[in-house]
Amino acid sequence: MKYHLDTIPVWDAFHEEKECPFCILEDKLEKSYVDSFLGGSVMEPDTRIEVNAKGFCPHHNQLLYKAQNRLGLALMTHTHTIETLKRFKKAAGKLTKGAAFSGSGLFAASLFKRASSGDKGQGSPMAEFSRWLDGFINSCIICDRMDYSMKRYVYTMLHLWENDSEFRKLTAESKGFCLNHLKAVIDMAEESLSPKKQQELLEMIIPLEEKNLERLEQELLWFTQKFDYRNQDKPWGNSKDSLPRLLQKLTGKYME
Report the pLDDT value the prediction gives residue 97, as an integer from 0 to 100: 66
Length of the chain measured in residues: 256
Q: What is the distance between the alpha carbons of residues 196 and 30, in angstroms, rounded to a whole number?
A: 34
Cα–Cα distances in angstroms (integers) from residue 21 to residues 24, 88, 157, in the given order: 5, 41, 10
Cα–Cα distances in angstroms (integers) from residue 202 to residues 15, 187, 207, 251, in the given order: 21, 12, 8, 21
235 dihedral zone (left: phi>0; alpha: psi -120 to 50; beta) = beta
Q: What is the distance between the alpha carbons of residues 17 and 199, in angstroms, rounded to a whole number?
A: 24
Among 20, 30, 89, 87, smallest CA distance to 61 is for 30
Report the pLDDT value the prediction gives residue 40, as an integer from 0 to 100: 75
Report the pLDDT value the prediction gives residue 39, as an integer from 0 to 100: 84
Q: What is the distance between the alpha carbons of residues 220 and 214, in angstroms, rounded to a whole number?
A: 10
Ordered mean pLDDT values, 10 residues apiece, the chain (256 residues): 82 95 96 90 82 94 92 91 94 70 47 50 79 93 96 97 96 96 97 96 97 97 93 92 94 77
Locate the domains of the chain by residue range: 22-141, 146-251
Helix (H) or strand (E) holding 152: helix 141-163
User: Does the global pTM surpass 0.85?
Assistant: no
